[in-house]
């Protein structure tokens, strides 16, 4: 396996700069592709809700409408202690994360097309779905289990030791820190899975390749992953602080608006730049010769 000799500041700056450039150049196509990703995410999420409604309907009785499931979840939350509520919220959040990871993979197909061919169309994202949906979906599911299962195990142990009430602030902070650290570390280690699948590898080979590339090029992978994770945390920081502390940073009048604006910025701006940055990083650490070719192509397109 070839790999870049040393990931330096120049590689990092060029990767971000080229990703911003291509996002601006092909934004309409990327935007349409993102819409497709979220349509598929919603469809898969509703499918999960439909399947999950079967045991709920046995317990609560038949539902007149699919959205009655969410009312039942609300009833369940209102009748449980804090520890059980965290488990229900974690499960509900997982039901949304899983289909998002499944749908996200096709965007990396656009990333490859941008840096190798210098073009991007929304149809290419749909083409990647048709050609490699099973691999992309399997890759998303495996990443989901790698990330969520250890966090779920941590929750099970915590609920065993604290069955009826939330742990004290110090213990809770430590548990949340460990879960967040694992989420960030594992997501970074697996960030090359989708580019590997797009490159033609099987799902298992893509997992191995991502771990190997990240192990040998940790500076390259985690500098990009850390940048965009930090941007996301910085953007959502006021909401996180306000939800988990007594500090009030946003008034009620702007709180919902801020959440909506933050979500739009994350989805419509940060996400495409991140996908392109990861795609270019993958190409560089897989084949260092691609870096010079991309810079020559970009200079000609500006």
Q: 121 or 166: whose pLDDT is higher?
A: 121
Angle at 123 between CA 42 and CA 297, to 5 degrees: 120
Nearest to 96 by CA among 49, 33, 55: 49
pLDDT of residue 296: 46
pLDDT of residue 273: 95
pLDDT per residue over 179-199, tens digit each?
889 989 999 999 999 999 988
pLDDT per residue over 28-57, tens digit each?
888 888 887 778 777 877 777 677 666 655
User: Residue 287: CB partners within 8 Å, gap ≥ 6?
Assistant: 2
Cβ atoms of 98 and 104 closer than 8 Å: no
Answer yes or no: is pLDDT of 301 > 50: no
Nearest to 212 by CA among 189, 195, 185, 181: 189
Highest mean pLDDT among 12-26, 37-51, 97-111, 153-167: 12-26
pLDDT per residue over 11-21, tens digit each?
899 999 999 99
Cβ atoms of 76 and 55 closer than 8 Å: no
pLDDT of residue 237: 87
pLDDT of residue 1: 37
Q: pTM here?
A: 0.79
């Amino acid at each position: 396996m070839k790999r870049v000799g040393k990931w330096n500041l120049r590689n990092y700056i060029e990767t971000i700069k080229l990703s911003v450039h291509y996002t601006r150049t092909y934004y309409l196509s990327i935007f349409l592709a993102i819409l497709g990703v979220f349509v598929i995410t919603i469809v898969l999420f509703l499918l999960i809700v439909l399947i999950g409604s079967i045991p709920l309907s046995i317990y609560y009785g038949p539902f007149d409408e699919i959205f009655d499931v969410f009312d039942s979840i609300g009833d369940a939350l209102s009748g449980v202690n804090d520890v059980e509520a965290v488990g229900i919220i974690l499960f509900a959040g997982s039901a949304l994360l899983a289909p998002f990871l499944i749908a996200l993979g096709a965007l990396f197909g656009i990333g490859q097309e941008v840096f190798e061919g210098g073009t991007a169309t929304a149809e290419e994202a749909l083409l990647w779905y048709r050609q490699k949906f099973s691999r992309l979906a399997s890759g998303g599911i495996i990443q989901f289990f790698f990330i969520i299962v250890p966090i779920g195990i941590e929750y099970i142990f915590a609920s065993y030791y604290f069955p009826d009430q939330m742990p004290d602030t110090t213990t809770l902070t430590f548990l949340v820190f460990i879960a967040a650290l694992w989420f960030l570390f594992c997501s970074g280690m697996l960030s090359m899975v989708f580019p590997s699948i797009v490159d033609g590898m099987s799902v298992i080979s893509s997992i191995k390749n991502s771990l190997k590339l990240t192990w040998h090029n940790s500076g390259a992978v985690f500098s990009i992953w850390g940048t965009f994770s930090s941007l996301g945390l910085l953007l959502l920081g006021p909401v996180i602080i306000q939800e988990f502390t007594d500090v009030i940073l946003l008034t009620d009048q702007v709180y919902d608006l801020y959440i909506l604006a933050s979500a739009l910025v994350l989805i419509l701006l940060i996400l495409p730049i991140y996908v392109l940055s990861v795609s270019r990083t993958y190409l560089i650490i897989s084949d260092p010769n691609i870096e010079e070719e991309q810079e020559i192509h970009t200079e000609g397109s500006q």
